[in-house]
A and B are shown apart, each in its own frame.
Chain A
Amino acid sequence: MKKYSAFSLIKESFNNHFGWEKAWKKNNLKKSYKVIIVGAGGHGLATAYYLGKNFGIRDVAVIEKGWLGGGNTGRNTTIIRSNYLQEESAAIYEKSRSLYEKLSQELNYNVMFSPRGVMMLCQTEHELRAMRRTYYANRIFGVDTEMVSPARMKEMIPIININGPRFPILGGLWQPRGGTARHDAVAWGYARAISNWGVDIIENCEVIGVNKNKNKINSVETTKGTINCEKMCFIVAGSSSILAELCGFRLPVESVALQALVSEPIKPVMHCVVMANTVHGYMSQSDKGEMVIGGGADGYNNYTQRGSFQHIEETVRALIETFPFISRLRQLRQWGGIVDMTGDRSPIISKTPIENIYVNCGWGTGGFKAIPGSGWATAELIANGEPGELAAPFSLARFKEGRMIDESVAAAVAH
């Protein structure tokens, strides 16, 4: 693998840029692998990366029904933060955020992590109290956040309207180390690193069945043939229930559509990410100048990767009060992804009823920020067969045992 550097860039510019090699190889499927990871999105590729890096397991195939990073990894609003209320969530998201900080150097691939700060608005008295509670919890777990007054918020984000009237801004929870990253680059960077180790990334390869012997699987049937494996892990977000059904069990998740949109590009108006949880509006400005706006999820089961138009309308309508300037912007693109929601709005990184199948799912509407941490924890689970400290609280058994990690009550929305 050629190292990307200023030197290689100068060298290649003399060569009219014809000397660059493909970032990752297109290999054919082998007959057997030690570990098969289903789903070449951010989480799947990160899992393969940390399996190789932390545990030396590189006899791995990452198989993907569509194309690399073509699901929710390429459809999110790229927000990275870790200001969660519950201890277990704060641990895994903070691990993830801290891994993001050095990811570009580590992968030798610019993921454009931009710690520009994340501001969560408090627009009701209840939300202000809840955020203050989150702030105290963050202090205890060592997550760097602070409460911001409306006056200081106006100073930091001059474009904001703090007076309401319907949803005035009463304060904010500021995480200065949060931010955004280039979502495709995260998938591409991991893909390049694992491909260099000889991990096979197989696209257009759908799982159509598994061959079980008692409570263990020996091979996976795909559209490109049968593959033997010692262990299998599926990390397929919205399609988790379909794969679980193939494997013979059910998951406590439901798949719904989540939408986002971007405006036409404009000059820089907002330097940080702003999240308005009460009205379900999440906004940041991309490096190209587009306002990236995420909305709330639909309430009904859906696999179409399109959502209801009125949700986009609701999001924008609510944001216009806080950001009057967006009423003059035109929408450039709008898209949807299928997210898998759990009851407590926390993910599942777990063993399953089948001995050598593992699952990573349930990230709902906030999976992008968790990619490195989730890959780290899932790799540990696959390699050791038992979850480590990060993954243990997120087991499937927590639902039966009533040990919810209740982020839905903590934030009053899925996040």
Chain B
Amino acid sequence: MLKFICPICEIETDETELTPGGEAHLKRMGPGSSDQNFYTYLFERKNPRGIHFERWLHSYGCGKWFHVVRCTKTMEVFGTYSAQDTKPPKKILDAIKKKLPNGKNVK
């Protein structure tokens, strides 16, 4: 079972009290954007086998969204951070770098 530290409650939460919200850091496209950009925003996903930046909702806890960095191949969790952060914190990026020194994602 997946276990994350909710960055708002600062407690360990497990999968049964969370709701997955899909890929994080999507650039939102609205009226005025091109059809291609709107399609990309709505449907196209990276769906990597490897490091995945994603959103989760602490639905049976604080009810707040937050970000998680997780490997979809090994299920390793690299950390969580606030939903308001547009970039992952340096600590998490360093942990990923340490795991994947050549910069390529897991396949």
A200 to chain B, nearest CB (A): 25
Residues from chain A with Cβ under 8 Å of B61 in the complex: none
Point out the residue from B1, B15, B46, B75 that lies within 8 Å of A250, measured CB to CB: B46
Considering only residues 315-373 of chain A, those with a C-beta below 8 Å from chain B are: 343
- In the complex, chain B residues whose CB is within 8 Å of the CB of A248: none
Q: Number of contacting residues on B, CB 8 A? A: 27
Q: Which residues of chain B come closer than 8 Å to A239, judged between CB atoms?
A: 49
- Cβ B43 vs Cβ A399 within 8 A: yes
Pairwise interchain contact A299-B49, C-beta atoms closer than 8 A = no
Are B47 and A310 neighbours in the complex by a CB distance under 8 Å? no
User: Is A300 among interface residues, defined by CB-CB distance under 8 A?
Assistant: yes
B residues contacting A by CB (< 8 A) are 1-2, 15-16, 19-20, 22-23, 35-36, 39-40, 42-49, 52, 54, 72-75, 107
Q: Do residues A241 and B46 form an inter-chain contact, with CB atoms below 8 A? A: yes
Q: Is the CB of B46 within 8 A of A303?
A: no
B107 to A, closest residue via Cβ:
A242
Task: List 3 A-B pairs, minimum CB-CB distance, nearest first.
Answer: A252-B43, A241-B47, A300-B20
Contacts of A252 in B (CB 8 A): 43-45
* A299 and B19 contacting across the interface, CB-CB below 8 Å: yes
Chain A: CB-nearest residue to B39: A400
Q: Is A5 an interface residue (CB 8 A)?
A: no
Taking the nearest CB of chain B, how far is it from the CB of A164, in angstroms? 25
In the complex, A300 Cα to B1 Cα: how many Å?
12
Interface residues of A (CB under 8 A from B): 239, 241-242, 245, 250-255, 298-304, 308-310, 343, 399-400
Chain A nearest CB from B106 CB (Å) reads 9
Report the nearest B residue to A242, measured CB to CB: B49
CA distance in complex: A241, B36 (Å):
18
| Residues of chain B lying within 8 A (CB to CB) of residue A253 | 45, 47
Closest residue of B by beta carbon distance from A304 = B75
A301 and B35 form a contact (CB under 8 A): no
Q: Is the CB–CB distance between A301 and B43 below 8 Å?
A: no
Instruction: Report A-chain residues with C-beta under 8 Å of the C-beta of B19.
Output: 299
With A245-B48, A304-B73 known, 6 other A-B pairs at CB within 8 A are: A241-B48, A250-B44, A252-B44, A299-B20, A300-B22, A303-B72
- Kindly state the separation between the CA atoms of A250 and B16 in the bound complex, as whole angstroms: 31
Q: Is B35 touching A400 in the complex (CB atoms < 8 A)?
A: yes
In the assembled complex, the CB of B62 is this many whole angstroms from the nearest CB of chain A, namely 19
Bound-state CA distance A304–B44 (Å) is: 22
**Shortest Cβ distance from residue A81 to the other chain B in the assembled complex, whole angstroms:** 27
Q: Is the CB of A308 within 8 A of B39?
A: no
Question: Is the pair B42, A399 in contact by a Cβ cutoff of 8 Å?
Answer: yes
Whether the pair B2, A308 counts as a contact (CB closer than 8 A) is yes
Are B45's CB and A241's CB within 8 A?
A: yes
List 25 A-B residue pairs with CB atoms under 8 Å apart, sorted by A's residue number: A239-B49, A241-B46, A242-B48, A250-B44, A251-B44, A251-B45, A251-B47, A252-B43, A252-B44, A253-B45, A300-B20, A300-B22, A300-B54, A301-B52, A301-B54, A301-B72, A302-B72, A302-B75, A303-B49, A303-B73, A304-B75, A310-B1, A310-B15, A343-B43, A399-B39
Set of chain B residues within 8 Å of A241, measured between Cβ atoms: 45-49
Chain B contacts of A254 at CB under 8 A?
A: 22-23, 45, 47
- Looking at the assembled complex, report how far the CB atom of B44 sits from the nearest CB atom of chain A, in whole angstroms: 4
What is the minimal beta-carbon distance from B100 to any residue of chain A, in angstroms? Answer: 16
Whether B46 lies near A400 (C-beta < 8 A) is: no
Please give, as numbers and ranges, the residues of chain A lying within 8 Å of B47 by CB-CB distance: 241, 251, 253-255, 301
User: Would you call A310 and B20 a contact (CB within 8 A)?
Assistant: no
